[in-house]
Amino acid sequence: MASKLFFSSLTICSILILLPLLSSLSSADVPPSSPVSPGTICRSTPYPSFCRSVLPNNNSANVYEYGRSSVRKSLSSARKFLSLIDKYLQQSSTLTTSAIHALQDCQLLAQLNMDFLLSSFKTVNSTATTLPILKADDVQTLLSAILTNTQTCLDGLRDTAESWSVKNGLYIPLANDTRLYSVSLALFTKGWVPKNKKGTLKPHKKHLPFRKGRLPLKMSSQNQAIYESVSRRKLLQASDDLVLVTDIVIVSQDGTGNFTTINDAVAAAPTNSDGTSGYFLIYVTAGIYEEYVLIAKNKKYLMMIGDGINQTVITGNHSYVDGWTTFNSSTFAVVGQGFVAVNITIRNTAGAIKHQAVAVRNGADLSTFYSCSFEAYQDTLYAHSLRQLYRECDIYGTVDFIFGNAAAVFQNCNMYPRLPMTGQFNAITAQGRTDPNQNTGISIHNCTIRAADDLASSNSSTQTYLGRPWKEYSRTVYMQSYMDGSINPLGWHEWVGDFALNTSYYAEFNNTGPGSNTAGRVTWPGYHIINATDAANFTVSNFLLADDWLPQTGVPYTGGLL
């Protein structure tokens, strides 16, 4: 009797010990179409307690029903937050200039969030099954960007000198919105995203038959004659991957084109094009254009071609020190989907002393920069959000000079760390992923990292690192790239203390050059030396699923590893 009672007690104790594990497993293993309690499903989100407070208390609901409810509430919250921002801006006479700039950023970002949530809700409201890979990636990308937009708003408000009344009125709803959007993204990922989301590597040309910076454009004979007469180029059309062009306008400072400024040409582009009939082409002739360019969200599938790096130059000097937020300090900002830029240099000349001063801010989905140059010091290229490719580009900078939370691949590019201010170190990347379900990160593939002339020729003791974790789930991978001796043997630098060293993901694969030796690298849990199988996840074809959208740009690319 005694032994039997002992056995029973032991069994009960074992069950009690295993209960949390069994609960966790049940949360992970429940099929999306099966009924599940809010408590169980919320364990698969980053904010279980908050999740339980916002989901309907309905034990007969499944992941799809909870997901729809969460996205619907996200849409309602985004609408309320936008109204709150509008209310504050109506009282702008009582606010500082920096506060107004930060609120204007939040207004733009909140409007984008409304668009993204409306699109996402249409999908989740009409489908109760795992989506095809491309469609799932579209929605996961939008939900990831919503979190990025909210974080950018929060960062801008925190960094400005606005009154505490503004902070206190906006921080709490922003914090709640962030958790709600995170829950929506987690539920979408669990219910609608396929387990294996890799793209299918399709056969494609690694090197299309045209020279660097040249696209095989297909346009009407009239437009072709105009383009050739001004650019003095023979357009190549021997490729199977022709780039369709619907119309062309020419920007020339001497008055011989259609416009003398780039912004006037952008304003003339059609609105909300779907890209099926081709690109609206803006050809910008050689010259230095001192203007701040915005490709707005309704200027879609716009292509801008210059006369070459250091020939067509767009320049500005807005900076954080002079009262601009990092977000709106950019010389060139693009939001319109499907944007393509070729043969252009974009600069921010504020200098290292002005701290954050962005040359390009890119928040355009399915966007491409080919044979372009980005020149600044701190925060040169803000790869803000959504899906982006940079091919054969030159990027110059010092502190965090490639940063943001896009899904961005840099292929065959040159990164040039410059000479920073005294006491500063160079960080090539500062990736801003804030949520484990975001499909974002920076992938640097077959690039060259070499000290710029000012750094190489100095006697400076400046240290240069591959990156540092700006946000908690920062993710950056260097693959098959050349690193010169300017890279510190540790490779990576902390942000502050031990922040994100466990949760970030930093990886290297088959790099070359004196700076690529991994023997002395950091020993953080988040740092990895990966194999070809893992590296393949960060290629153009898999990370961006770009075989579906990149060929229409005419930009050459390599889909997989070399």
pLDDT value of position 95: 83
For domain 245-397, the CATH class is mainly beta
Cα 157 to Cα 152: distance, rounded to the nearest angstrom: 9
Least confident of 137-146, 270-279, 380-389: 270-279
Choices 1.20.80.10, 2.160.20.10, 3.40.50.450, 1.10.260.40: CATH for 422-441+452-555? 2.160.20.10
Sequence length of the chain is 562
More confident residue, 511 or 214: 511
CB contact at 8 A, 392 and 376:
no
Helix, strand, coil share of the chain (percent; to 5) = 35, 20, 45
Checking if the pLDDT of 328 tops 50, the result is yes
Residue type for position 487? I
Cα 12 to Cα 35: distance, rounded to the nearest angstrom: 27
Checking if the pLDDT of 92 tops 90, the result is no
Least confident of 9-23, 161-175, 181-195, 518-532: 9-23
Provide, rounded to the nearest whole percent, the portion of the chain with pLDDT above 90.
78
Where residue 209 falls among pLDDT bands split at 50, 70, 90? very low
Checking if the pLDDT of 253 tops 60, the result is yes
pLDDT value of position 69: 96
Alpha-carbon 69 to chain mean position = 27
pTM > 0.85: yes
Least confident of 39-43, 151-155, 165-169, 186-190: 165-169
Half-sphere exposure of 455 (CA within 13 A, CB side): 27
Interval 251-278 mean pLDDT: 95
What strands lie across the sheet with 387-391, from one edge to the other? Answer: 217-218, 243-251, 279-284, 302-306, 340-342, 367-370, 387-391, 407-411, 441-445, 475-479, 505-509, 527-529
Architecture of domain 38-192: Up-down Bundle (1.20)
pLDDT value of position 211: 55
Beta-strand pair 429-431/402-404: parallel
Q: What confidence tens digit (pLDDT) does each residue in 375-407 have?
A: 999 999 999 999 999 999 999 999 999 999 999
Beta-strand pair 360-362/381-383: parallel
Alpha-carbon 525 to chain mean position = 24
β-bridge partners, 218: 244
Q: So where are the chain's domains?
A: 38-192, 245-397, 422-441+452-555
**Domain 422-441+452-555 in the same topology as domain 38-192:** no
Residue 457 tokens, joined: 């020729």
pLDDT value of position 196: 77
Least confident of 115-129, 198-212, 359-373, 417-431: 198-212
pLDDT value of position 230: 64
Checking if the pLDDT of 140 tops 60, the result is yes
Rounded (5°) CA angle 315-296-250 = 60
Query: E strands within 405-456?
Result: 407-411, 414-417, 426-427, 429-431, 441-445, 448-449
Cα 43 to Cα 46: distance, rounded to the nearest angstrom: 8
pLDDT value of position 300: 98
Least confident of 1-5, 387-391, 461-465: 1-5
Q: Classify residue 328 by its DSSP letter.
A: T
Cα 353 to Cα 360: distance, rounded to the nearest angstrom: 19
pLDDT value of position 20: 40
Interval 407-435 mean pLDDT: 97
Alpha-carbon 424 to chain mean position = 25
Q: Is 321 exposed, middle or buried (0-12, 13-18, 19+ CB in 10 A)?
A: middle
pLDDT value of position 205: 43
Checking if the pLDDT of 142 tops 70, the result is yes
Compute the mean pLDDT over every residue in the chain, rounded to the nearest whole number: 89
Checking phi first, is residue 368 left (phi over 0); if not, alpha (psi -120 to 50) or beta? Answer: beta
Rounded (5°) CA angle 526-530-532 = 150
Residue type for position 104? Q
Provide, rounded to the nearest whole percent, the portion of the chain with pLDDT above 70.
88
Query: Which of 403, 490, 483 is closest to 451 using CA atoms?
Result: 483
More confident residue, 96 or 119: 119
β-bridge partners, 382: 361, 403
Q: Classify residue 404 by its DSSP letter.
A: E
Interval 55-64 mean pLDDT: 91
Please confirm, yes or no, whether 115 is among the known catalytic residues: no
Query: Which of 136, 142, 147, 144 is closest to 198 using CA atoms?
Result: 136
Q: What confidence tens digit (pLDDT) does each residue in 483-508 have?
A: 999 999 999 999 999 999 999 999 99
Checking if the pLDDT of 459 tops 90, the result is no
What strands lie across the sheet with 360-362, from one edge to the other? Answer: 293-295, 332-334, 360-362, 381-383, 402-404, 429-431
Where residue 109 falls among pLDDT bands split at 50, 70, 90? very high
Handedness of CA 258, 263, 268, 273 (dihedral sign): positive
Where residue 359 falls among pLDDT bands split at 50, 70, 90? very high
Interval 340-344 mean pLDDT: 97
Query: Which of 472, 516, 469, 512 is closest to 491 using CA atoms?
Result: 516
Checking if the pLDDT of 445 tops 80, the result is yes
Catalytic residue among 400, 453, 454, 548: 400
